[in-house]
């Protein structure tokens, strides 16, 4: 029977949350139009081939960086915050002690930054501070698209879910929910967090590591619908990939978009519940439990299962095939045959 490791309440250093990502795009103007008009992100800074964007309530310099490139689109890294810069020193010592190779890097708008690849090759960086920017929610009444408030989480395709879960548990991530399935009761997904919501990083099965999506919180369900309308108005309507709908785990509503380069971004309203107290144990979701939940909406299209952004500098390893997973295409074919 699949199990997950016990939580580590006193990790080697203090990560506070997953906070940002950097992706490459082929047409900067088109991507900028998507992220400012559909997501409603705010431009903090622009120079040359790069743009730094933030959510409307974020005071940090950026939560998304776009870099124009003629190469196939990819994610250069995901970013995490630690509580103070002292934690970065502890992080460096910890990662060296387990055989990883952290290095100090310079980043626009950030304090000291430590970059490394996790044991699976995923590029990631840690910082404690960013340059301060005005909180847009109290300086304007103009909020296009989803009026996205803040970066919430990333979901990563993983070729080895138990190993990913073990590594990130060791860094202090706690599991809010996990999925099991198949005749062998295999672990097929983990939802992990450091901040007080159910998610910071989610691992689901697939060729990996690859970035399945990053997610922003929007003020309301109505703002999520406004993003769909903005997509239609600005000729991005075909990029609404899945939803609106409601997930079972966590019960949050969602809409998934593909950006003009195929990077996937999810919009969710405010997370449904707080995760903080230690008596909140991970929730196990097997087939029987999943059928008894309040999720609604069509199954995902096959591309939602298969497609993900490659990370820079790492070749994905094949992932497991999840038993019993049904795509929208299969669902519609079954209905047509009835
Ligand atoms: Fe998500």
The verdict on residue 335 lying in a domain is no
Asked if residue 8 is part of any domain, the answer here is no
pLDDT of residue 271: 85
Q: What integer pLDDT is reported at residue 288 of this predicted model?
A: 63
Q: Is residue 307 a part of any domain in this protein?
A: yes
What 3-state DSSP class applies to 250? helix
Tell which residue, 160, 242, 247, has the closest CA to residue 199.
247
**Residue 338 falls within a domain, yes or no?**
no
DSSP string, 232-245: HHTT-GGGEEEEEE
pLDDT tens for the 338 residues of the chain, in order:
788 999 999 999 999 999 999 999 999 999 999 999 999 999 999 999 999 999 999 999 999 999 999 999 999 999 999 999 999 999 999 999 999 999 999 999 999 999 999 999 999 999 999 999 999 999 888 899 999 999 999 999 999 999 999 999 999 999 999 999 877 888 999 999 999 999 999 999 999 999 999 999 999 999 999 999 999 999 999 999 999 988 876 678 999 999 999 999 999 998 888 898 999 999 998 866 666 666 778 889 999 999 999 999 999 999 988 877 889 999 999 999 98
C-alpha 154 – ligand 1 centre gap (Å): 6
| Residue numbers of the domain that contains 316 | 15-330
Max distance between CA atoms of the chain, in angstroms, equals 62
Q: 124-127 contacts: CB < 8 A, separation 24 or more?
A: 124/77, 124/78, 124/79, 124/80, 125/77, 125/78, 125/79, 125/80, 126/15, 126/79, 126/80, 126/81, 126/82, 126/87, 126/88, 126/91, 127/79, 127/81, 127/82, 127/88
DSSP assignment, residue 132? B
Instruction: Confirm if 145 and 118 have CB atoms less than 8 A apart.
Output: no
CA 108 to centroid of ligand 1, rounded, Å: 27
Q: How far is the CA of 93 from the centre of ligand 1 (A)?
A: 31
Q: Cα separation of 254 and 128, whole Å?
A: 29
Cα(214) to centroid(ligand 1), Å? 7
Counted domains in the chain: 1
Assessment of whether the complete model's pTM goes beyond 0.85: yes
How far is ligand 1, taken at its centre, from the CA of residue 337, in Å? 32
State in Å: Cα 89 to ligand 1 middle. 31
Within a domain: 337 = no
Rounded to the nearest whole angstrom, what is the distance from the C-alpha of residue 86 to the centroid of ligand 1? Answer: 30
Whole-number Å distance, alpha carbon 285 to ligand 1 midpoint, is: 16
The CATH number for 147's domain is: 3.10.180.10
- The verdict on residue 184 lying in a domain is yes
Position 167 in a domain? yes
- Give distance in angstroms: CA of 265 to centre of ligand 1: 8
- DSSP classification of residue 39: S
Measured in Å, residue 267 CA sits from the centre of ligand 1 at: 8
In a domain, 71, yes or no: yes
């Amino acid at each position: 029977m699949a199990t997950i490791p016990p939580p580590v309440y006193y990790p080697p250093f203090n990560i506070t949350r997953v906070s940002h990502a950097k992706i490459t795009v082929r047409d900067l103007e088109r991507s900028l139009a998507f992220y400012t008009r559909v997501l409603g992100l705010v431009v903090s800074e622009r120079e040359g081939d790069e743009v730094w964007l933030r959510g409307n309530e974020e005071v940090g310099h950026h939560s998304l960086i776009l870099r124009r490139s003629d190469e196939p689109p990819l994610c250069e890294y995901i970013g995490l915050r630690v509580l103070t810069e002292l934690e970065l020193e502890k992080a460096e010592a910890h990662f060296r002690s387990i055989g990883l190779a952290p290095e100090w890097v310079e980043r626009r708008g950030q304090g000291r930054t430590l970059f490394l690849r996790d044991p699976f090759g995923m590029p990631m960086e840690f910082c404690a501070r960013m340059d301060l920017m005005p909180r847009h929610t109290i300086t304007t009444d103009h909020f296009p698209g989803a009026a996205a408030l803040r970066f919430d989480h990333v979901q990563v395709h993983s070729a080895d879910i138990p190993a990913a879960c073990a590594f990130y548990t060791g860094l202090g991530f706690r599991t809010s929910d996990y999925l099991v399935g198949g005749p062998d009761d295999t672990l097929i997904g983990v939802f992990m967090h450091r901040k007080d919501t159910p998610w910071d990083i989610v691992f689901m099965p697939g060729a990996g590591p690859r970035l399945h999506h990053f997610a922003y919180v929007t003020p309301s369900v109505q703002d999520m619908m406004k993003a769909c309308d903005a997509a239609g108005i600005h000729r991005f309507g075909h990029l609404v990939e899945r939803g609106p709908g409601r997930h079972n785990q966590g019960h949050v509503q969602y809409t998934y978009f593909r950006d003009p380069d195929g990077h996937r971004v999810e919009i969710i309203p405010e997370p449904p519940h707080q995760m903080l107290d230690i008596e909140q144990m991970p929730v196990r979701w097997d087939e029987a439990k999943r059928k008894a939940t309040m999720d609604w909406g069509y199954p995902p299209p096959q591309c939602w299962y298969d497609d993900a952004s490659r990370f820079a500098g790492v070749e994905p390893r094949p992932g497991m095939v999840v038993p019993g997973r049904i795509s929208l295409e299969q669902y519609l074919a079954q209905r047509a045959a009835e």
